[in-house]
Amino acid sequence: MSFRLESDSMGEMRVPSDAYYGAQAARAVENFPISGFRFSQAFIAALGRIKKHAAATNAALGLLDSKIADAIQRAADEVIDGRLYPQFVVDVFQTGSGTSTNMNANEVIANRAAELLGGKIGDRSVHPNDHVNMGQSSNDVIPSAIHIAALDGIVHRLIPALDELKAALQKKTAEFDNILKIGRTHLQDATPMRLGQEFSGYASQIEHGIARLNNVRPHLAELALGGTAVGTGLNTHPEFARRTIDALARDTGLELREAGNHFEAHASRDACVEASGALKVVAVSLFKIANDIRWLASGPRLGLGELKLPATQPGSSIMPGKVNPVMCEMALQVGAQVIGNDFAITFAGAFGNFELNTMMPVIAWNLLQSIDLLTNASSIFARRAIEGLAADHVRCEANVERSLAMCTALAPVIGYDKAARIAKVAYETNRTVREVATELSGLDHKTLDRLLDPRTQSGA
């Protein structure tokens, strides 16, 4: 590999000769060989958008040469569409402000812009700080990029994926509405219900999750851009933030706005913690739904067996014909990961000292990963598990008459103690509640049939 020599404020640095990044990014690569994790394309695209519209604003304000601004915007477009993504080489675990990644972006865009203007990589004809980073600081750019990428992911990808899952569950709610089954509480038999009612609860969980995500949108929409180093706006034009954020809002289709208080926007990452909390609730809901379905489909012969999952792949390397609930297990693992990510984000969010949070890269990494995981898992779970789900009508309804909880409907008429005795005798003699009640309740057959009608017990 051949190298070129570049300089930053700390001196000379060898940089691969064909790299668009410069001395600061190369120094960060040497300093942080930690995980091999790189920021997602969504985050890098958000950085590119900020640099693009910042350049346009600065040119419109007469602060930046229009030719340089145009070249910066063209280079930023290549960042946004992913063509320059391999040039973002800094590890996630780096300086807590994300300065290394901000400078990685500044250097890549500056060098590519210089090239577009007929110059050479590293010639500084477009300067990473003076031109690309004009009116900005890592301290307002990085949190703004986190908010933009997270909000874009939630609005344009995760919520549509959850809508797809909700629709699939609602379809099963209607399809299964007439199938009687026994409810379960504490893993024990409970009163009768309909399978469709059970699925209506799952659909409602997802609906509530979507509402929770919508509730965090106004807070993620607030951008720190314009506050520069500590929130005072030093070295930026008074119109810079408003104009740039308006352009970002038009570009992304998001209702973005300047933070009402730049000191809060710099010092805390509370909006990210809140968003992660909403994502965690969605993960918990997905976990519960997938786990229920996994148990209800257990068997196929010696488990509960009320549901039949679509077969997606062979389940065992040793047991021929075995099919496992792999889509449910995928969803469970995604739920576990998102719950873990939330703890990391919560802890990192508490690490704001004075005017800056210094765990922004790990917040960005975990938050955007959670959004991606839930987006993909929700859509795939809907298509490859829920849509092909079938019910075993016979299995569901055969269990209802055998349930001891059927005696619950007798209690208002014959009293709790007598109904409990009927349940106990039924259990001890391995008979149904109906059979024992015929002997011990003192009620006629017509009344017993009315009270013990499982469809009536299942409600409206």
Examine the domain organization and report whether 207 and 89 are in the same domain. no
- From 370, 394, 418, give the residue that closes a domain: 394
Q: Are residues 375 and 423 in the same domain?
A: no
User: Is residue 360 located within the same domain as residue 410?
Assistant: no
CATH number reported for the structural domain that contains residue 24 in this entry: 1.10.275.10
The single residue of 7, 17, 35, 316 carrying the catalytic annotation is 316
| pLDDT of residue 344 exceeding 80 | yes
Q: What is the pLDDT of residue 256?
A: 98
Written as six digits, the tokens of 298 are 């257990």
Provide the pLDDT for residue 299. Answer: 94
By DSSP bridging, strand 222-223 and strand 257-258 are parallel
Residue 373 pLDDT grade (very low, low, confident, very high; cuts 50, 70, 90)? very high
Mean pLDDT in the chain?
A: 97
- Binned at pLDDT 50, 70 and 90, residue 7 comes out as confident
Mark whether 316 is an active-site residue.
yes
Verify that 437 and 296 share a domain, yes or no. no
Among 336, 335, 252, 324, CA closest to 294: 324
Domain co-membership, 252 together with 165: yes
Share of the chain above pLDDT 70, in %: 100
pLDDT 10s digits, 422-443: 999 999 999 999 999 999 999 9
**3-class SS letters over the chain:** CCEEEEEECCEEEEEECCCCCCHHHHHHHHHCCCCCCCCCHHHHHHHHHHHHHHHHHHHHCCCCCHHHHHHHHHHHHHHHCCCCHHHCCCCCCCCCCCHHHHHHHHHHHHHHHHHHCCCCCCCCCCCHHHHHCCCCCHHHHHHHHHHHHHHHHHHHHHHHHHHHHHHHHHHHHHHCCCCEEEEEECCEEEEEEEHHHHHHHHHHHHHHHHHHHHHHHHHHCEECCCCCCCCCCCCCCCCHHHHHHHHHHHHHCCCCEECCCHHHHHHCCHHHHHHHHHHHHHHHHHHHHHHHHHHHCCCCCCCCCCEECCCCCCCCCCCCCCCCCHHHHHHHHHHHHHHHHHHHHHHHHCCEECCEECCHHHHHHHHHHHHHHHHHHHHHHHHHHHCCCEECHHHHHHHHHHCHHHHHHHHHHHCHHHHHHHHHHHHHHCCCHHHHHHHHCCCCHHHHHHHCCHHHHCCC
Q: Average of pLDDT values for 355-360?
A: 98
Domain of 233, in residue numbers: 140-174+195-394
Closest CA to 224 of 278, 274, 173, 261: 261
The pLDDT assigned to 257 comes to 98
Catalytic, out of 9, 186, 317, 445: 186
Indicate if the pLDDT at residue 346 is higher than 80: yes
Residues 306 and 208 both lie in one domain: yes
Whether residue 148 is found in the same domain as residue 107: no
| Distance, first Cα to last Cα, the chain | 73
Please check whether residue 366 is in contact with residue 344, taking contact to mean a CB–CB distance below 8 angstroms.
Answer: yes
Q: What is the pLDDT of residue 1?
A: 79
Overall domain count for the chain? 3
Q: Does 9 qualify as catalytic in the annotation? A: no
Q: Which of 394, 424, 446 is the last residue of a domain?
A: 394
What are the residues whose beta carbons fall under 8 Å from the beta carbon of 130, sequence distance 6 or more?
Answer: none
Task: Give dist(CA 298, CA 395) in Å, integer.
Answer: 12
Q: Which amino acid type is present at position 186?
A: H
pLDDT of residue 316: 87
One domain, residues 306 and 229: yes
Q: What is the CATH number of the domain that holds 341?
A: 1.20.200.10
Same domain, 411 and 376: no
Q: What is the mean pLDDT of residues 87-102?
A: 98
Q: Taking the model in full, what pTM does it have? A: 0.96
pLDDT at 315: 86
Quote the tokens at residue 213: 């995500």
Same domain, 285 and 323: yes
**Is 353 found in the same domain as 260?**
yes
42 located within any domain? yes
Q: Could you tell me if residue 13 is inside a domain?
A: no
Same domain, 203 and 217: yes
